Structure formats: C-alpha cells, structure tokens
Structure 1
Amino acid sequence: MAAQNTPINPGPQLPDFAEITDHANHVVEGLPLLQNLPVVDNGAQILASLEYDNHLNSVNRQLNGLNARIGNVETNLNYRITALDARLDSLDTQFTNFGTRLQASETNAQARLFNSHISSRDTPLEPLVSAIDGTLIIGFPATSGALSGLSGTSSGSSMATC
C-alpha cells in the first residue's frame, strides 16, 4: 500500500499565484519612485529648462524690439522738439521785431503829429526813430529851420527808414 501514496508522475509544477501577486504589488509600489531617478527626471527637467530658455529668449527678442522702437520714437521726438524750439525762437524774434517796428511807428506818428503843429523855425522838432530798431535817427534835424538846409536826397533816405 505504500506504493499508492507516492505519486507516480508528479507532472508540471504550477505557479504560486499568491507569490506572483505579492511581487506584482511590490513592482506597482515601486513604479512611482522611478520618477526620482536622475535618468528619468533630468530628461523632463532638461526639456522644461530648454522650453523656459526658449521662452526667455523670445521675451528678450521682443524687449529688444520694443527698446529699439522706443529709441526711434525718442530720437524722432527729440528731433521734432529741436525743430519746434527753432521755430518758436524764430517766431519770438519775429514778434520782437514786430513789436519794435510797431513801437517805432507809434513814436514816429506822435512825433509827426507834434512836428506838424510847429510854427516857428527855431522850435525843436520831435526826432523820428528807425523803424528797424527803434533808435533815434542820426543826423535828424533839431529844428524846422534845419530842415530847409537838407538836400532832397539825404532827407529822403533818412526819412525812408522811418
């Protein structure tokens, strides 16, 4: 009877599913830790770093473009302000000259009015001024008697600037 208890042909060995499940659980628990390996993580970090560098380079190019445009606008504004200053200086000079001529014209009108009422040759004349700069006309006769001594050419040229 002892021969009946011993297997005659043991057959192929069967897998131990409990052991396989245990090992599979260990693998599954370890998979998330793979991201901590430098080989796996550095690749992602390198890609992220390259993308960030590309983004920074793009931003720098845009900033350089903006700086160039702002520089051009600033140069253009400086040019226009300089031109405007020159025009304002020219207008200021023109207004000053106009004011001088207007004042000279008024002074000469008053002098002519005063001089038109002189009845004596010895009465002093009110002198005329230059219409250009408002200064007294050099050689203007002091009295109406001195007017008769002037030649037509010299008195005409003196009076032409009044």
Structure 2
Amino acid sequence: MKIQKKSLLMAGMLALTVLFSCKKKSDDPTGGTEGKKAKITISLSSEFKKAESDKFDVTVVGANATGTTIDWLVDGVTKKGSAITVGTDDFNGGKTIVIESASSFYAGNLSFGGFEFGATPFTVTYKIEVNGKIIDQGSERIVKDRDPLFIKQYQL
C-alpha cells in the first residue's frame, strides 16, 4: 500500500510536468511580462513527521507567453528550474512555506498533496492567490489510510 500511494503521487507530479510542457502560444507581444503573479502559502501542523513516514510535496511551474519557465521564491529564496518542488524534508516537524512567483507568468500549474503513514494525523492549511485574489483556501486533516489521497491541483 505504501509503494502504491507513493507511486500515485509521483505519477501525478510527472503528469503535471508533461502537461505543462505542452505550452500554449500567445499573441502577447510583451512575452507575458504583463501576466500574473502568484502567492502560495502552505502550513503543516507540528504532527507532520518524516520519521513517521509522513509524506507531503508541492510542485509549481509557470511560464511566460514564449514558454520560458519562471523562477520562484520559496520563503524569499530564489529557486530556479522548470518545476519547483518543496517536499517532506522542508515541512518536517510542521512548517509554513510561502512560494511566490519571482516574475509575471502567462500560465502556471500547482499541485500539492500528501499522506500519513504514522499513527499521528496532521493538518494542512493552504491559501492560493493569483494577482492578489484568493483562488482557494482551506484546511484538511490528513489521517492514516485516507482514501482518496489528499491531492489538490490548480491552473494558475
């Protein structure tokens, strides 16, 4: 069961990366410089423990109108790459992480989720903003053997 849940989460992340690589063309002559800005805030409660085999990942990607991926700020630190992932090690012990687009983007994708293998449930609280407008926010209690798995996906 442990491998199946991990495989499902990883397959979802891979699918998002492949999906986003099929970029959309635009007539925007600015190359997306007048596009969107995003801010993602995710908090895990102190019950989240890597030692209990708890798992949680966040993957975000954004690109301008020419298809060039943008950088992201993770707690104020610039992260470069085609897709940025923040994971279990980053959230261990319960933490709040803020991810913001470092520049404007034309299209973006966000996926996050996790599961509990230990005996102690944890809580995830999230807030997704695009151009200062709240797209979604909420809080979920993650328990062992939750079915379906906790997974959220957004087009930014």
Under a length normalisation based on structure 1, what TM-score does the superposition of the two structures give?
Answer: 0.22
Under a length normalisation based on structure 2, what TM-score does the superposition of the two structures give?
Answer: 0.23
From the two aligned structures, give the one with the greater strand fraction: 2
Larger Rg computed on CA atoms: 1
From the two aligned structures, give the one with the greater helix fraction: 1
